[in-house]
Chain A
Amino acid sequence: MRRDPCSDPVLAAFAAEIGPSGPVTIKGGGTHWSVGGGPDPTARVVAAPEGIVKFQPSETTVEVRAGTKVTELHEVLAEHGQRTSLPEDPGSTVGGALALGWSGPARLGRGLTRDAVLQIRYVGSAGELVTAGGPTVKNVSGFDVCRLMIGSLGTLGCIADMILRTRPIPELEVWHSVFGIDPADVLQSCATAGSILWDGSCTWIMNAGYGVDVEHDLAVLAEISAKAGADRPAPADPPKLPPHRWSRRPSEALAMGPEDGSFVAEIGVGMVHVDHPVSPPPPDEGSVLVQRRVKQAFDPDSRFNPGRRVGGM
């Protein structure tokens, strides 16, 4: 039966702290504080509660407070051989990761951040506690308000608590790098490729899966390298990613070249990490209209994270 979030003293206290009025900015780990524009310095800064509420390995779900560090969450999940698809940026919080909505460079294998979210509890603009989504791994009951919160940069509500879907950690996960191969060949031939990063000359590959499958794909990788006249792939750490993101289609990422400056492209995904900021293409006009209506409907007084704007707004 429905659990009243107000009966949870931690959530109730968080809602009371936010209250019904005045500009508020919610701060997670502060790791991506400038995305969407820095927050208005006059806004009151609040931090979400921390801690893992309930981890049920056999349900593959975990309820966690938004202020919990992703790395801390993953340490606990790993004790049961599980994790979530959220990226592990050092210092970032689970709530921050959802508010940002970015997926990590291993999304090809681990899936998208947005698809990990089953339920979100947040504080709305009148200081009210709201539950969106549901606790089970499958749920289509009502409108999917959760999706609006993911990537909203905290501009629609203050995320307090969430239930995430967990996934088993693969039996084997290894990184290799090799110069001079076509990364498209890896995407085509290696089903265990959980991440393929390419900087125009070097390709880094993370193979993840059952040991026997990973070993098979490493042999395939060696064949691809031999055919290209390249050295054998060597164990390697993943590359450091340039600071800016350029969201492209997968085929566009493959077409990157020296004229684009230094880059690391996520092959099969389309995200390209570049050393200079790139303006996103102009958004669809009609969609901007709906986005404005969303903001107006959820935060009519514009009290949440003033100064920060999601793309296109």
Chain B
Amino acid sequence: MPGEEIDPELARRLRALHQEGGGFVRIEQIAGVIGELLERIREEHSRQEVFLYRELGGLSEYIKAIKAEIAALRPYEIQNHYLQVASDELDAIVDATEAATHAILGAAEEIEDIAGRLDDMEAVRLTEIATRVYEACTFQDITGQRIGKVVRALKVIEERVMTLVAAFGPGVEERAERGEASAGAAELLNGPQLGGDASRQDEIDALFSGNG
């Protein structure tokens, strides 16, 4: 094409042919040169493709290894067991401390009631004690809020784990579902139990006495 630079190698070969032929170049000679050039280009491309193929192969192995590692982490076990248990345990802490706090507040209110029936000095003293109890009980609100933050953090971790599983495709999910619970975890006791899982002392006593 006019104005475009000719390949230097092609130019050199054409010049040589031109000189050899005394100013004439046969069309077969030009075809031969172009054929050689095309072969060279094919070889060059082939080397690049092999390199690229090897790189992609390495990348594929790397992804497989990561998928295996994620599967080994048992993401569904993390989601369905550990995170769920942790969340339930934290909820149980909030419920238990709330119930205990109400019991303590009830006792402090009774102290105030009694104070109202006593002489001034004793009444003031008892009211001060009740006030200190009320002040101390504000801990429940703070711990409840802090535990709420931890529960929200667990939710975020759960979402991130599941996003990672989804990103690496069904292979990870299948292997994760086939996974068995680790022996170490199974050997541990899990007390104290949550309300739904727990037996009351009288139910346990009944089992020991043969009535259960």
Asked if A and B bind, the verdict is no
Could you list which residues of chain B lie within 8 angstroms of chain A, going by C-beta atoms? none
